[in-house]
Amino acid sequence: MKKIGIMTTGGDCSGLNTVIQRIYRGATLRGWHVIGILDGTDGLCTTPPRVIEFDNETLPIECARMAGSFLHNGHAQALNFETAAETGRLNDFNKQLRKSLNELKLDAIILIGGNGSISLAWRNREIYSGLQLICIPKTIDMDIPLTDKTIGFNTAVQQLTSFCDQLMLTARSHHRWFVVQTMGRECGQLALNAGIAIGATAILIPEIKFNVDSMIAHIKNAPRDYGIILVSEGISLRGHSGKPADIISRKLTASGIVNRTAFPEHTQRVGDTTAADRILAARFADCALNAIANNETYVMTAVNNCECKTVSLADFFAAGYVSADPNIPDLQTSDAYVSPDDPLLDIATDMGIYIGETK
């Protein structure tokens, strides 16, 4: 009988509980033993490691739709790769992780994380030697290479869309524009997808150069005097500091455009998991369990062209735009961004949305 550990790391998102529950269900049908590791790597840094045993009542299926992680993703004082590096304890931290994994006598560990967590797992793969490491991609940012979908993204787009739908009503009532700042870090997928969904008048993302004066002219020539301007948190304007939405708002005000700013912030990371994310969670859970059964290791589940399969972590890391992590010395993270040939860019232009200087 195989013994499987599940761990969620990095930022939370909707869909984590769904994939945890589906992994547990599929594993028990195979006759495997499943435990959950609490608070990510911090749970492996105590003696004994902080784990829970799963049964049918631990995470009832009716609760699996809920946002957040039943296993938690850490806390402000949690010991992880970043805090260990900051305090000069990285070597001891790595040794402790390895020691705890040995004590747990796991055959495999399923790590559900974002691009930072998966990059860390690959770059520190010796920690997981002797057991199977299977990664499942989750993030609202959709910045993970080699997969068309990540758990949590669809729900985040829905949450942002619902937020903007309500703003559009008050915008219409007061002949007003709203500048909405989205999450997404350096990737504009969340803003781009939600912007298409709501019919935004302008979408500003980090990957596409834009001209503020051109955007203002576009807004002034719009067929209505209200609407939404979506601004991804990762954009930058030379010579300006502060929140991007506030900067754009001031520019609009200076040109005579009545506007307000709005910050949905962490509401984008919550909400009942959409059906699409639940289905994706089930597919990734099944794919991860099949990988364990097939004795695969150092792999990530991925969906490409509607096919769900595993890709090697080496390929995942090499496929992205590798950049230095600002918080962990010598660490590099593999990132994915909005491609210049993403069809949504053309769709935005064809629908009369200002998307930047794409042509």
List, run by run, the mean pLDDT of 10-residue segments along the chain (359 residues): 96 97 97 97 94 92 96 85 84 92 97 95 94 98 97 98 98 98 97 98 97 97 97 91 95 98 97 98 98 98 97 96 80 91 96 89
Q: Determine whether 107 is an active site residue.
A: no
Statement to judge: residues 148 and 176 lie in one domain = no
pLDDT in tens, 138-161: 999 999 999 999 999 999 999 999
One domain, residues 38 and 85: yes
Note the pLDDT of residue 238: 85
Residue numbers of the domain that contains 17: 3-152+273-319
Strand order in the sheet with 177-182: 202-204, 227-232, 177-182, 259-262
Tell me the CATH number at 168: 3.40.50.460
Whether residue 146 is found in the same domain as residue 286? yes
Examine residue 167 and state whether it is found in any structural domain, yes or no: yes
Q: What is the 3-state secondary structure (H, E, C) of the chain?
A: CCEEEEEECCCCCCCHHHHHHHHHHHHHHCCCEEEEECCHHHHHCCCCCCEEECCCCCCCHHHCCCCCCCCCCCCCCCCCHHHHHHCCCHHHHHHHHHHHHHHHCCCEEEEEECHHHHHHHHHCHHHHCCCEEEEEEECCCCCCCCCCCCECHHHHHHHHHHHHHHHHHHHHHCCCEEEEEECCCCCCHHHHHHHHHHCCCEEECCCCCCCHHHHHHHHHCCCCCCEEEEEECCCCCCCCCCCHHHHHHHHHHHCCCCEEEECCHHHHHCCCCCHHHHHHHHHHHHHHHHHHHCCCCCEEEEEECCEEEEEEHHHHHHHCEEEECCCCCCCEEEECCCCCCCHHHHHHHHCCCECCCCC
Q: Which of 39, 42, 141, 277 is catalytic?
A: 141
- Give the model's pLDDT for residue 204: 98
pLDDT digits (tens, 9 = 90+) for 313-357: 999 999 999 988 777 777 789 999 999 999 999 999 999 999 998
Residues 263 and 297 in one domain: no
Same domain, 184 and 215: yes
Residues 27 and 143 in one domain: yes
What pLDDT does 359 receive? 59
Residue 337 tokens, joined: 């961004």
Instruction: Say whether both 45 and 128 belong to one domain.
Output: yes
Number of domains in the chain: 2
Question: Is the same domain home to 170 and 240?
Answer: yes
How many angstroms separate the CA atoms of 338 and 196, rounded? Answer: 14
CB 114 within 8 A of CB 138: yes
Does residue 231 share a domain with residue 92? no
Q: The CATH number of the domain where 311 resides is what?
A: 3.40.50.450
Domain check: are 142 and 161 in the same one? no
- Give Cα 310 to chain centroid, integer Å: 19
Predicted pLDDT at 163: 98
Q: In DSSP terms, which residues pair with 232 in a beta bridge?
A: 182
Tell whether 331 is covered by a domain: no
Question: How far apart, in whole angstroms, are the C-alpha atoms of residue 73 and residue 6?
Answer: 12
- The pLDDT score that the predictor gives to residue 78 is 80
Quick one: pLDDT at residue 79? 83
Residue 148 and residue 163 in one domain:
no
What CA–CA distance (Å, rounded) separates 115 from 90? 20
262: in domain: yes
Burial 98-119 (b: 16+ CB within 10 A, else e): bebbeebebbbbbbbbbbbbbb
- Residue 99: inside a domain: yes
Residue type, 298: Y
Q: Is residue 41 part of a domain?
A: yes
Q: Return the structure tokens found at 333.
A: 């993270």
| Cα–Cα dist 281/6, whole Å | 14
In the beta sheet, which residues pair with residue 132? 108
Other CB atoms within 10 Å distance of the CB of residue 138? 30
Contact 229, 202 (CB under 8 A): yes
Residues 139 and 18 in one domain: yes
Residue 91: per-residue pLDDT = 87
Residue 134 lies in a domain: yes
Residue 332 lies in a domain: no
